[in-house]
Homo-oligomer: A and B are copies of this chain.
């Protein structure tokens, strides 16, 4: 089985982080194909970056679909372009944001998301309201760091770790969710440090996407995810 993981920003280094997390958590019969968007912003922070990232993302989805993958993963926690990508593909498309929160809901009655930049918070809140999981969410918080400055320093000096530790204290019954694809490598150590599940969306999406592919399911194409009608388009 082949899973296509597309990084919708144009930072190849972030693609490497994401691909490593996907490889490390894939079932034995799953091959990971990681791609990077060919155009758009180097990181996705907020509504504007997200919108500018979608055309490049859709190009990678179409290429991989033609290439014959079994499912696609959009490796930005904003689930950038998720609905448009489902129009472009027949194979299942999973966003790492929704995937992480769904897995969190299996481990606790509630979850908290810690993302990088404050400008991403309303984007994530809107997604959760639409996909139904706002009901289970005890808050979306920002660590106050730019996505491209993310790096995992051990201990209290790392702002993501600090924000997660605070969230764990504030809401003792919540699972914790890493709100950015670039945080993927932090999940295991933080789970250990905080003695609480800290869920990475890339790993979560690999489980969901491989499961959907294993069952042979495809996207319903008779409604809002119908393939786009052929029409004149200005490049």
Q: Give A residues with C-beta under 8 Å from B.
A: 10, 25, 27-29, 37-43, 45-52, 54-56, 58, 81, 83-84, 86-88, 92-94, 98, 102-103, 105-110, 118-119, 121-123, 126, 129-136, 146, 148, 172-175, 188, 191, 196-197, 199, 203-204, 206-208, 210-212, 214-220, 222-229, 231-235
Contact = CB atoms under 8 A, between A and B. Distances in A.
Given A39-B234, A107-B212, A109-B122, A47 B172 contact: no
Contacts of A108: 219-220, 223, 225
A84 B203 contact: no
Given A51-B54, A130-B126, A211-B207, A103 B217 contact: yes
Contacts of A222: 172-173, 196
A133 B210 CA distance: 22
Contacts of A232: 10, 41-42
Nearest to A227: B48
Contacts of A84: 47-48, 50-52
Nearest to A199: B217
Nearest to A171: B223
Given A118-B223, A173-B220, A207 B212 contact: yes
Stoichiometry, copies per complex = 6
A222 B171 CA distance: 10
A122 B109 CA distance: 8
B234 A10 contact: yes
Contact of A87 (B46, B81, B199): B46
Contacts of A40: 233-234
Given A129-B130, A132-B134, A217-B191, A51 B55 contact: yes
Contacts of A93: 106
A174 B221 CA distance: 10
9 closest A-B pairs by beta carbon, nearest first, are A173-B223, A207-B211, A122-B224, A132-B135, A51-B84, A48-B87, A108-B220, A47-B83, A48-B228
Contacts of A225: 47, 108-109, 173
Contact of A86 (B27, B47, B102, B219): B47
Given A103-B211, A105-B131, 9 more contacts: A40-B234, A51-B58, A52-B233, A54-B54, A103-B215, A108-B220, A119-B229, A132-B133, A148-B231
